[in-house]
Structure 1
Amino acid sequence: MKVRSLGSYNNILFLIFFFIMMNLPNTHGKEKK
């Protein structure tokens, strides 16, 4: 159960990190433009 919880938490963290990384270049590009 602990491993399952950790896996879910890691998945969510990875999703958030991926979303931020994808949003970072977008904001930078808009600011540069």
Structure 2
Amino acid sequence: MSSIYRIKENMRQYTDTESKIAKYILENKDFVITS
């Protein structure tokens, strides 16, 4: 049970990181394209 919980926690952390990266790219999209 604890190992399953740990896997879920890791998956949630990865998802949070990916969403932060995607959000950063979206927020800085215009700057990246123009430069």
Q: TM-score, normalised by structure 1?
A: 0.72
Determine which structure has more spread, i.e. the larger CA radius of gyration.
2
Unpaired stretches in structure 2, ≥5 consecutive residues: 1-5
Is 2:20 the partner of 1:6?
no
Query: 4+ residue runs of structure 1 moved beyond 2 angstroms?
Result: 25-28
CA RMSD after TM alignment: 1.2
Unpaired stretches in structure 1, ≥5 consecutive residues: none
Q: What is the aligned partner in structure 2 of residue 21 from structure 1?
A: 26
